Each structure stands twice: as structure tokens, then as C-alpha cells.
Amino acid sequence: MRLRRSASEPVPNAFRLRCAAHWGGTNSHRLATTSSGTKLGAPRPLPTDHDPHHRLLSVVDQPVTMRSMNDAPSPNDAQSPSDTRPIRRKTIPDFQQMKSAGQRITMLTAYDFPMAQLLDDAGVDAILVGDSLSVVVQGHENTIPVTLDEIIYHAELVGRAVNRAMVIVDMPFPTYRVGVHKAIENAARILKETRCQAVKLECGAEQADVIAGLVGAGIPVMAHVGLSPQAVHQLGGYKVQRDEDRLLNDAVTAERSGAFAVLMECISSTVASKITETLTVPTIGIGAGPACDGQVLVTHDVLGLTSGYIPRFARRYANLAETIRRAADQYCDDVRQGRFPAGEESYK
């Protein structure tokens, strides 16, 4: 039985306004149980003394969270009875290994429990609680308004839902630009209150001390270089970033400061490829071409949950907005015509 658980190329105006949805543009922690009832929990591997990343490992290799009672089995559940490996979340070494093996890393955004669970079941490697929350969930024009408390609330929902993916949380504007100590306090709140494993910062080389401070405090950091949606007012819009020296310097500085991965947004494929070859840590691209070690998109764009302009770099795999509109329309029609509820949907 399962337990309930918990750029300097201008981009079109409409892009700026709604922008790929993302710019503006319980459970108790316990051992996992397979559908067949096999207990899968196992002690986490202990960090080794010679491993310089041991502090990070201890943060990211978290115990399993549980699935809800009414979950349908998913392909990820299909663990053979002889396979005693625990279900566990992906870790920094896993991503490093994926880069070495040339295995591409997949990442999508989620902001609530059911979506995070679905994406996790589908086998996504990393889930980002992005500050795109501000646009796609809260309905703001850009990512500036979302607060630390709000992102923590959503990250906690996601953190409880995910068993296998690494969960990364965006630090909202300007919570990591307020001095290193305050940045550590803010990032630590995210890790302590959400079961998520890492934070992401939109940062250039000038944020090296913040990255180093967070990593030194045991907080894994994904750096976000290239287009910085949080700098929309400074940039005057969402533009492809083309200063190659700056991009390379930002990415290399992020790695040297301890970032475990570098997300690159809206930069040319050529520069992204050069950065990916230069860095030893994985790169994750959005609008950065195919050479990156992994790709990320805003789930609302992927599922067609947003209306309006879809940026060139996003691909729509479903049209859920239409499906939802049609379902709601049919429901209203059935109620109005007296077709719902039917006898079998009523109690005697």
C-alpha cells in the first residue's frame, strides 16, 4: 500500500511582455515503497574524507520522499525485485558523471506538488522552482515581484513531491545581492525549509564572492549567466547576450567560485559550445543551442499552458490550455443542460 505524502539582438515586444512565460516574458520522510510493497530506503552513502565536495554531497543526497496514495505506477517505479538500490534524488556527482559520459541533462520548471510529481515520474533529471513563478503562476509582467517567502512556499510543495530529480530553487531578486552574509541566510532558508537541494543565482563575475560564500556555507549553487531576466530594467528588455569575453569570464568565474553547474540563457550556440567545452562542470542551456550539457525550459511553455508569443527557443509539446478550455466548456454545458451529475455520480 502506498502512503499519502506528501542578448544585443532585440527581441520582439510581445516577447518582452509575456516572454516565454518565464521572464515577463505528505508526506513524511520515510523509506520509499515500490508498487509491489518492497521497501527501498537505504542509508545514504557517507561522504569520504578525501572528497572535497563532501559537504555538498551531504546536502544533496537526501532521503526519499513519498508518493501519494492515488498515484498510478510510472515507468520509474519499475524497479526489479532484485534491485535493492534506493530510490534517491540525483546529485551533483550524478550530473558531473552525466557530463563526462556525454549524457544530456534534462531540466524543467515546477511550482507545485502535482506538476513536480508528474515531471519526476516522467524521469526529468532536475526540477527548477524558477522565479518564472512570478509570471506563469502569479501573473506578473516580469520576475522582479516574487518574494523569498513566496518562492519558499512553492519550493516546499515541489520539494515534498520529488523522489528522483535534483530540485533547484531560484533566489529571487535581490535576495543574493544584499551582501554575502545575508545571501547565505536567505539561501539557507531555502534549503532548510523546502527539502530542495540547491539554489540558482543570476550572476556575473562580479558575484564571485557570493557564489564562493554560499558554497563555503555548504549551499550548492547553479550559476545563471547570459540573459538575466532580473536585470530587465537595466538591460531595457530581453536581449540575446553577445559579449563573448564577458560570457566566458562569467561562466569560468562561476565555476572557479564553486558553482556546480552553469545555466546559460539566450546566448549564441557558438559561444555556448565554447563555454561547454571550457568548463568542467555541466552547462544547462535555454536559448543557448544544442551543444550544452543539458537543456531547460519553462514547463508552462512546453505544455502549452500559456497563450501569446512563444520565444524561438521554446518548443511546445502539448496544448493543455486548449484541453482545459474545452473540458471546462463541456462541464459548464453539462451542468446547464442537467447532464451532470448523472445517477452513478450521485448518492442514494
Task: Give the residue with the Cβ less far from ligand KIV, 184 or 263.
Answer: 263
- Of the listed pieces 58-66, 128-136, 230-238, 327-335, which binds ligand KIV according to CB under 6 A? 128-136
Min CB(223)–ligand KIV separation in Å = 12
- Of the listed pieces 33-41, 61-69, 129-137, 181-189, which binds ligand KIV according to CB under 6 A? 129-137
Task: Give the residue with the Cβ less far from ligand KIV, 23 or 113.
Answer: 23
- Of the listed pieces 130-138, 161-169, 247-255, 300-308, which binds ligand KIV according to CB under 6 A? 130-138
CA distances (Å), origin 86, targets 35, 45, 116, 171, 331:
14, 11, 20, 30, 43
50 secondary structure, DSSP code = T
Min CB(298)–ligand KIV separation in Å = 5
Per rule CB under 6 A, is residue 250 in the interface with ligand KIV? no
Between the two ends of the chain, the Cα-to-Cα distance in Å is: 30
Per rule CB under 6 A, is residue 230 in the interface with ligand KIV? no
Q: How far apart are alpha carbons 252 and 109 in whole angstroms? A: 25
Min CB(65)–ligand KIV separation in Å = 22
For 288, residues 6+ apart whose C-beta sits below 8 A from its C-beta are 226, 264, 265, 266, 267, 268, 269, 272, 313
Cβ pair 289, 278 in contact under 8 A? no
Min CB(288)–ligand KIV separation in Å = 10
Q: How far apart are alpha carbons 229 and 234 in whole angstroms? A: 10
Size of the site for ligand KIV (CB under 6 A): 11
Interior/surface letters 163-189, b for 16+ CB within 10 angstroms, e for the rest: bbbbbbbbbbbebbbeebeebbebbee
Footprint (CB under 6 A) of ligand KIV, residues 14-33:
22
Q: Which long-range contacts (CB under 8 A, 24 or more apart) does 80-87 make?
A: 81/36, 81/38, 84/40, 84/42, 85/40, 85/42, 86/31, 86/32, 86/40, 86/41, 86/42, 87/32, 87/40, 87/163, 87/164
- 193 among known catalytic residues: no
Per rule CB under 6 A, is residue 109 in the interface with ligand KIV? yes
Given 185, 265, 277, 344, which residue is catalytic?
A: 265
The single residue among 61, 121, 125, 131 that binds ligand KIV, judged by CB under 6 A, is: 131
The single residue among 152, 271, 279, 298 that binds ligand KIV, judged by CB under 6 A, is: 298
Min CB(131)–ligand KIV separation in Å = 5
The residues of the shown chain that bind ligand KIV, judged by CB under 6 A, are 22, 109, 128, 130-132, 170, 265, 286, 296, 298
Active site residues: 265
